[in-house]
Structure 1
Amino acid sequence: MQQLERIHLVQFFLFEAQSLQLDATSAIIAPNGAGKSALLDALQIVLLGGDRSRIRFNAQAGGSHRARTIRDYCLGVFRSGDEGRKRRTATTYISLVFRDTETGVPLTAGIALGASVDEPEHRTHGLYLLPGVALELDEHLERVKGKELPLAWNTFREHIARRCKDVGETPQLHPNAERFLRDLLLRLRASPSASPDLNAYRKAFLNALNLQRVEDVDLFVRTLVAEDRPTDIARFRALLDSFRQIKEKIEQVRQRIDAAEGAERQYEKIAGQATRAASARALAAEYARDLYSEQLDQAEGALADAQSALADTRRGLADTRVERDTLREEQARANARLQGSAGYGEQAQLDELSGRDRERLAQLKKD
């Protein structure tokens, strides 16, 4: 957190050179007309970057930015007339010294102004941010012939450049309030990830200066807290129509998605049935394969048995043929021996006669 610890005022209102030391419990308490609002206005000048279009001096008293001017504060005007002015020319410095309560690193933010009774408006010499530097009151002053006078702006600018260089930093001198405030808010933000809103800051700052007793919380929030953003009815209606069209498209897409999901479920059912049918066919084919395999095994066994029996039969046939041939040879030899014997011819004649007699006998039996 950044804490404001000192305010340096040089030739501002009735102050020639004054420092105010602040802490978390500081308060500005004094009778009416004592100059309390002048201190708040000094803060206002720096924290609004000297932007006259934004500043509302003496806001608690209901004043406006025309009631008192920056030039009046520089010249120390407290009433009308030459007698109601503290100085004819002024080189005014307002410096605010902040310090990070966690790291202890200081930051000085300030404004240098000039004014003269011969000029209708004040001059802004510069807006400065000095990172790492906590300026002291004496650094705004010089002694000339025993008098303390404000440093000339050029001299002061050279001095703050040296002070920043001593701590390894560079002074930030901004040409306008917008850039000054953006840089200031960036350096005073609560966390590195925060993104300050300049417009919201300006409104909150002015509302804080103008804060009164809150009678109507709703009115307070709408007028002092919430940002003014008038509703563009035509644009709002166009957006509403767009939202309706988007809603209709979303509904159409939802219906399409539902239809697609229904089709997907049907396809999933069909795919499941097809898978089951394919599984059944595969199972039937597997059973048929097993059956054919068993039949093939049986046929192969029967074939092996038949081939073995055929081989045995062929071997037996070959043996029988050999035996037949042997017997034929023996018969031929026996016939040859028989024919060569003495009674073979007579026996043959007897056999022939015997055969004819048997044929006649058979014929007679038939008759």
Structure 2
Amino acid sequence: MAYSAVMKQAIGTVRATLANQGIGMQDARFARHGAHEPDADAPLVLVACSGGRDSLALAAVAATVCAAWGVRCGAVVVDHRMQPGSADVAAQAARRCAALGIDPVVVRDVRVVDEHGEGGEAAARDARYAALVDEARRLGAAVVLLAHTKDDQAESVLIDLIRSGGLDAIAGMPAEQRIDGVCFARPLLGLARAETTRICEDLGLAWWDDPTNGDAFPADEELPARFPLRSRVRHTLLPYLSAFAGRDMATMLADGAALARRDVDLLERLTDDVFARSVRIEDDGRGLRASIDVRALAKEDAALRFRVVARTLALCAPGSGRRHVEAVEALISDWHGQRGVQLPRKRTANRQKHVIEVCEDVTHANRRHRG
């Protein structure tokens, strides 16, 4: 079969991604033309598929690469049950994956609960990743492929700049990351949404468009505030920026993210070393608590101190923001006997001599035990 230029490009990026995970052609027989079944113990690659154009294109490309290399290819379809008819959409996505020769195809229903007050979109993302991690472990998958494109990367950068800022925001989504021990990879970050659309059209694949994306609205009409932020950034902000700048800002932002990601990765490796030397984490039966060695951390650059404190709070007081990190870091860099820092999840950070303890707030604990 003759592939289009964009299909060839996508095949190349998926091959490179799998090769980076140590996955390649499994046997010399797969170098020969003809149909070959992968061995039962061949590595399993899972595709997270929503039924949209991006994930269906990725499923088709991954199925092609895996079949050529003797690698097993599966798919997981997550039904968030947040829209009427979502079960039908998930079932249809599963059928389309199966028609591509993908096996196994798993549909997972999840319950979306906004426990941390971060909004439905964030809660859905957390539930989705938890389901993907669970299925990857259950099936013994070597890697889970996510269909984020260049456009998604640009949107993520803008959203993170709106919500937080900093170098990590500019760096966007990593091409590869581990979540709870499971490897996730994004091979399509170099392709635009228009190119995944073209792949689906070339292969005759029908896709589902999420109505919350606002695709039905005219391009020159701003999406109402009831739509998710990501949809409003996609439909209104990013096109406006491109028109204002007179260039493709999705490509500019995505390319900039790739450069910033290299810097972030270096900082994270340095943070790993400093964290190991200056922070002790333990489970006290009520959650994780941390002891931060002030003297060890005070010697480090401010950028590393900030990252070590941020990582500590992410573990021991999830939901902590920049102001919490800055306040705890001030217990190191600007110590003048100030009181402890109140943190989310009824946690506090208190300095005693040369140690900062991040643990359950004693006031809350005493009140709970008296009750």
**Class of the TM-score when normalised by the shorter of the 2 chains:** under 0.3
| TM-score, scaled to structure 1 | 0.20
Task: Say which one has the larger Rg.
Answer: 1
| TM-score, scaled to structure 2 | 0.20
